[in-house]
Amino acid sequence: MRKNLLIANWKMNKSYEDLGVFVKGLDESGFLKQNKIDIAIAPSFPFLEKMGSLLKNTSVRLGAQNAHWETKGAFTGEVSFSMLKEFGVEYVILGHSERRQYFKESDQDVAKKAKACIENKLKAVVCVGESLEERKNKQTISVIERQVNAVIAELPSCEHLVIAYEPVWAIGTGISATVSQAQEVHFWIRTLLAKKFYKEGSDSVRILYGGSMNAANCKDLIQEEDIDGGLVGGASLEAKSFSEMLKNLG
């Protein structure tokens, strides 16, 4: 019922020249035009226009990694959702743990971003996840609950909402959550969604896993009932490794 979704989170990586090489690689492996799985690529802001034109007339969608909740005004260095829309962006990653950690984004900031994103009819990919210390202290569920509830409190419906469960200790470390650790949290997220949006709403929301997802572990993760795809960093940077994942999911 829920179509799997794989999003490439390029973070602050790649150059202008790399874009064409990547898209050519995806084309050669047959993933530019297919409809088995939804795919999006989220490059850095300066590359959105070029990536958008390379992806024109393909089934791969354009993503961005952040935006401000205001539409316009005196917010030096910020970018609004309506600006992203002008460049054909469809998915926006929000509240990534790196933004929470290095840029001090609070749950309330992330909630305001998600609300503005969805008001602009863009898909909000809201990231949540516990640190290693929080997991060790058995606070995983309470952290996830706090982060998810802050966002859904602001939303009248869950249309256009995607959640990404990304345990902070699994991001970029090569240590993925186990299938059962991930499924347990995904199930809990869906239960939280159902409290506000009822079963019908919660059944429609895609919950992605992120944190050292790669070609070797993606299939087992995605086979779980409540895991509907992935938010992929390292393994999404080269067309070869990203295509390898897509092949294993297909």
Contact residues toward ligand PGA (CB under 6 A) are 9, 166, 171-172, 210-213, 231-235
Q: Is 186 a catalytic residue?
A: no
| 144 in Cβ contact with 129 (< 8 Å) | yes
| 2 in Cβ contact with 225 (< 8 Å) | no
Q: How far apart are CA 82 and CA 79, in angstroms?
A: 9
User: Which of 34, 93, 87, 81 lies closest to 233, judged by CA?
Assistant: 93
> Which of 62/235 has CB closer to ligand PGA?
235
What SS3 state is found at 229?
strand
Please state the closest distance from residue 230 (CB atom) to ligand PGA, in A: 8
> Which of 137/173 has CB closer to ligand PGA?
173
Q: How far apart are CA 180 and CA 149, in angstroms?
A: 23
Residues in the chain: 250
Active-site residue, from 98, 105, 134, 166: 166
Active-site residue, from 96, 98, 130, 134: 96
Please state the closest distance from residue 129 (CB atom) to ligand PGA, in A: 9
> Which of 151/197 has CB closer to ligand PGA?
151
Please state the closest distance from residue 214 (CB atom) to ligand PGA, in A: 8
Which two tokens mark 72?
């316009």
> Which of 94/151 has CB closer to ligand PGA?
94
Please state the closest distance from residue 27 (CB atom) to ligand PGA, in A: 23
| 164 in Cβ contact with 231 (< 8 Å) | yes
Q: Is 105 a catalytic residue?
A: no
Catalytically active residues, by annotation = 96, 166
